Each structure stands twice: as C-alpha cells, then as structure tokens.
Amino acid sequence: MRAVVTCECCGNRQAVARQIQRAEIFFVVCHSCESVLRVEVTDEELRAAQATPRTRPATRV
C-alpha cells in the first residue's frame, strides 16, 4: 500500500515514496517544515488498503 502522511506541524500532506508490505513503524521528514513524522502502519490498515484499492497499477501489453 501507499501511505499519505499529514504533518502535525504544518498540515502538509505527502505521499510516502516506499511501498508498505507489512505492519511497521517508520519516520518521514516533512517536505515543508522538515519536522520528523512518525508513521505507524497497522495490520488493520494494511488489510483495509488491500481490500479497497483506490488506484490500480496500469498494465500494458
């Protein structure tokens, strides 16, 4: 899944560049104010994201 993180300081929303395959905790630096944001992905969120994919990867033949 792809995560979108909203900065608690400035409210800037940014997409996490890395793919998230399992529940984990990692840190992202805000592109706007450079504060460190703690991102926690739970199994539940992961399942929800997989159950309702918003964007399908485009497949080309």
User: Binding residues for Zn ion, per CB under 5 A?
Assistant: 7, 9-10, 12, 30, 32-33
Sign of CA dihedral 38, 32, 22, 52: positive
User: Among residues 8 and 23, whose Cβ is nearest to Zn ion?
Assistant: 8
CA 26 – CA 48 distance, rounded (Å): 19
User: Among residues 23 and 33, whose Cβ is nearest to Zn ion?
Assistant: 33
* Min separation Cβ 8 and Zn ion, Å: 8
The SS3 call for residue 44 is helix
User: Among residues 2 and 11, whose Cβ is nearest to Zn ion?
Assistant: 11
* Min separation Cβ 34 and Zn ion, Å: 7
- Chain Cα centroid distance, residue 16: 5
